[in-house]
Protein backbone atom coordinates (compact mmCIF):
# COMPACT_ATOMS: atom_id res chain seq x y z
CA UNK A 1 0.00 0.00 0.00
CA UNK A 2 2.82 2.39 0.87
CA UNK A 3 4.47 1.80 -2.53
CA UNK A 4 1.22 2.63 -4.32
CA UNK A 5 0.70 5.74 -2.19
CA UNK A 6 4.19 6.99 -2.95
CA UNK A 7 3.71 6.45 -6.70
CA UNK A 8 0.10 7.59 -7.27
CA UNK A 9 1.13 10.72 -9.16
CA UNK A 10 3.29 8.59 -11.50
CA UNK A 11 0.31 6.25 -12.01
CA UNK A 12 -1.80 9.12 -13.36
CA UNK A 13 -3.78 9.97 -10.24
CA UNK A 14 -4.32 13.47 -8.85
CA UNK A 15 -2.83 12.36 -5.54
CA UNK A 16 0.72 12.87 -4.37
CA UNK A 17 2.25 11.24 -1.29
CA UNK A 18 3.91 13.81 0.97
CA UNK A 19 6.60 12.68 3.35
CA UNK A 20 5.33 13.49 6.85
CA UNK A 21 8.66 15.03 7.91
CA UNK A 22 8.62 17.26 4.81
CA UNK A 23 5.02 18.30 5.59
CA UNK A 24 5.95 19.21 9.17
CA UNK A 25 8.93 21.24 7.96
CA UNK A 26 6.74 23.09 5.41
CA UNK A 27 4.19 23.93 8.13
CA UNK A 28 6.93 25.11 10.50
CA UNK A 29 8.11 27.55 7.81
CA UNK A 30 4.51 28.87 7.76
CA UNK A 31 4.71 29.45 11.52
CA UNK A 32 2.58 26.39 12.38
CA UNK A 33 3.27 23.07 14.11
CA UNK A 34 5.77 24.83 16.38
CA UNK A 35 5.76 22.02 18.93
CA UNK A 36 5.71 19.01 16.61
CA UNK A 37 8.93 17.02 16.46
CA UNK A 38 9.63 14.21 14.03
CA UNK A 39 11.20 11.33 15.97
CA UNK A 40 11.76 8.94 13.06
CA UNK A 41 10.08 6.30 10.97
CA UNK A 42 8.85 2.88 11.95
CA UNK A 43 8.04 1.04 8.74
CA UNK A 44 5.67 3.26 6.76
CA UNK A 45 4.65 5.29 9.81
CA UNK A 46 6.28 8.47 11.09
CA UNK A 47 6.62 8.92 14.83
CA UNK A 48 5.71 12.44 15.96
CA UNK A 49 5.63 14.19 19.31
CA UNK A 50 3.82 17.36 20.28
CA UNK A 51 6.07 18.70 23.04
CA UNK A 52 3.53 21.28 24.25
CA UNK A 53 0.63 18.87 24.64
CA UNK A 54 2.80 15.85 25.52
CA UNK A 55 1.31 13.70 22.79
CA UNK A 56 3.20 11.00 20.92
CA UNK A 57 1.61 9.50 17.82
CA UNK A 58 2.29 7.53 14.66
CA UNK A 59 1.17 9.12 11.39
CA UNK A 60 0.53 6.82 8.42
CA UNK A 61 0.88 9.56 5.85
CA UNK A 62 -0.14 12.84 4.25
CA UNK A 63 -1.66 12.99 0.79
CA UNK A 64 -1.92 16.03 -1.44
CA UNK A 65 -4.66 16.29 -4.06
CA UNK A 66 -3.21 18.29 -6.96
CA UNK A 67 -6.62 18.99 -8.49
CA UNK A 68 -8.16 20.30 -5.25
CA UNK A 69 -4.91 21.84 -3.93
CA UNK A 70 -5.58 20.23 -0.52
CA UNK A 71 -3.71 18.12 1.99
CA UNK A 72 -5.32 15.08 3.59
CA UNK A 73 -4.31 12.92 6.50
CA UNK A 74 -4.05 9.27 5.46
CA UNK A 75 -4.87 6.62 8.04
CA UNK A 76 -4.66 2.91 7.37
CA UNK A 77 -6.60 0.48 9.57
CA UNK A 78 -6.87 -3.27 9.42
CA UNK A 79 -9.67 -5.13 11.11
CA UNK A 80 -10.99 -8.64 11.53
CA UNK A 81 -13.97 -9.57 9.35
CA UNK A 82 -16.54 -9.20 12.12
CA UNK A 83 -15.63 -5.50 12.46
CA UNK A 84 -14.92 -4.88 8.79
CA UNK A 85 -18.04 -6.40 7.22
CA UNK A 86 -20.85 -3.95 6.62
CA UNK A 87 -18.69 -0.92 7.36
CA UNK A 88 -20.38 2.28 6.23
CA UNK A 89 -18.33 4.96 7.99
CA UNK A 90 -15.23 5.57 10.05
CA UNK A 91 -15.39 3.83 13.45
CA UNK A 92 -16.07 6.16 16.40
CA UNK A 93 -12.73 5.36 18.08
CA UNK A 94 -10.91 6.09 14.84
CA UNK A 95 -12.78 9.39 14.49
CA UNK A 96 -11.32 10.50 17.83
CA UNK A 97 -7.85 9.36 16.81
CA UNK A 98 -7.76 11.08 13.43
CA UNK A 99 -9.41 14.21 14.84
CA UNK A 100 -6.53 14.48 17.29
CA UNK A 101 -4.02 13.98 14.48
CA UNK A 102 -5.74 16.70 12.43
CA UNK A 103 -5.67 19.03 15.43
CA UNK A 104 -1.93 18.46 15.87
CA UNK A 105 -1.06 18.55 12.14
CA UNK A 106 -3.26 21.46 11.01
CA UNK A 107 -5.41 19.32 8.72
CA UNK A 108 -9.18 19.16 8.19
CA UNK A 109 -9.76 16.10 6.02
CA UNK A 110 -8.86 12.47 6.41
CA UNK A 111 -8.88 9.48 4.11
CA UNK A 112 -9.28 6.32 6.16
CA UNK A 113 -8.59 3.05 4.34
CA UNK A 114 -9.85 -0.13 6.00
CA UNK A 115 -8.36 -3.53 5.23
CA UNK A 116 -10.03 -6.80 6.14
CA UNK A 117 -7.09 -8.63 7.74
CA UNK A 118 -8.76 -12.01 7.25
CA UNK A 119 -8.75 -11.81 3.44
CA UNK A 120 -6.74 -8.64 2.64
CA UNK A 121 -9.74 -6.96 0.98
CA UNK A 122 -9.53 -3.17 0.89
CA UNK A 123 -12.46 -0.86 1.39
CA UNK A 124 -12.47 2.36 -0.58
CA UNK A 125 -11.24 5.19 1.58
CA UNK A 126 -13.76 6.88 3.80
CA UNK A 127 -13.52 10.65 3.71
CA UNK A 128 -13.91 12.28 7.09
CA UNK A 129 -14.23 16.04 7.42
CA UNK A 130 -12.86 17.18 10.78
CA UNK A 131 -14.59 20.32 12.04
CA UNK A 132 -13.26 22.94 14.41
CA UNK A 133 -15.78 21.72 17.02
CA UNK A 134 -14.37 18.19 16.75
CA UNK A 135 -10.84 19.55 17.18
CA UNK A 136 -11.88 21.65 20.17
CA UNK A 137 -13.40 18.60 21.85
CA UNK A 138 -10.12 16.69 21.41
CA UNK A 139 -8.08 19.66 22.62
CA UNK A 140 -10.24 19.80 25.75
CA UNK A 141 -9.65 16.09 26.36
CA UNK A 142 -5.89 16.62 26.10
CA UNK A 143 -5.99 19.62 28.45
CA UNK A 144 -8.07 17.68 30.97
CA UNK A 145 -5.58 14.84 30.86
CA UNK A 146 -2.68 17.25 31.37
CA UNK A 147 -4.47 18.75 34.39
CA UNK A 148 -4.74 15.31 36.01
CA UNK A 149 -1.01 14.77 35.47
CA UNK A 150 0.01 18.23 36.70
CA UNK A 151 -2.15 17.88 39.82
CA UNK A 152 -0.99 14.29 40.38
CA UNK A 153 -4.57 13.07 40.49
CA UNK A 154 -5.60 9.69 39.15
CA UNK A 155 -8.41 10.28 36.63
CA UNK A 156 -11.67 8.41 37.04
CA UNK A 157 -11.76 4.98 35.43
CA UNK A 158 -13.75 4.55 32.27
CA UNK A 159 -16.56 2.05 32.41
CA UNK A 160 -15.50 0.84 28.95
CA UNK A 161 -12.14 -0.88 29.39
CA UNK A 162 -11.72 -1.74 25.70
CA UNK A 163 -8.93 0.81 25.24
CA UNK A 164 -7.07 -0.62 28.24
CA UNK A 165 -5.92 -3.58 26.14
CA UNK A 166 -3.35 -1.38 24.42
CA UNK A 167 -2.35 0.74 27.40
CA UNK A 168 1.14 0.41 28.81
CA UNK A 169 -0.32 1.57 32.14
CA UNK A 170 -2.75 -1.34 32.49
CA UNK A 171 -0.97 -2.85 35.51
CA UNK A 172 -0.72 0.48 37.35
CA UNK A 173 -4.34 1.29 36.54
CA UNK A 174 -5.59 -1.93 38.12
CA UNK A 175 -4.28 -0.70 41.48
CA UNK A 176 -6.90 2.04 41.61
Render pLDDT for 50-78 as a digit per residue (tens, 0 to 9).
999 999 999 999 999 999 999 999 999 88
Return the percentage of the chain with pLDDT > 90, whole number: 59
With bands split at pLDDT 50, 70 and 90, how would you rate the model's confidence at 20?
Answer: very high
**pLDDT band at 84; cut points 50, 70, 90:** low
**Looking at residues 132-140, what average pLDDT do you find?**
96
Identify the weakest region by mean pLDDT among 40-49, 59-68, 77-86, 111-120.
Answer: 77-86
What is the predicted pLDDT for the residue at 82?
65
pLDDT for residue 12 = 92
* C-beta of residue 105 within 8 angstroms of C-beta of residue 63: no
- What's the predicted TM-score (pTM) here? 0.87
Cβ partners under 8 Å of residue 60, min gap 6: 44, 45, 74, 75, 76
Q: Strand pairing of 70-79 and 109-116?
A: parallel
Amino acid sequence: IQDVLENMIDLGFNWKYIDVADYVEMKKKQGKLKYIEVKGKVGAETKLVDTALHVSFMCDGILYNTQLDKYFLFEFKNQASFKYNGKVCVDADHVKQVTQYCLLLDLNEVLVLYENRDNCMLECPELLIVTDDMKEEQANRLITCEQYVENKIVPPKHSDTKACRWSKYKTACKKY
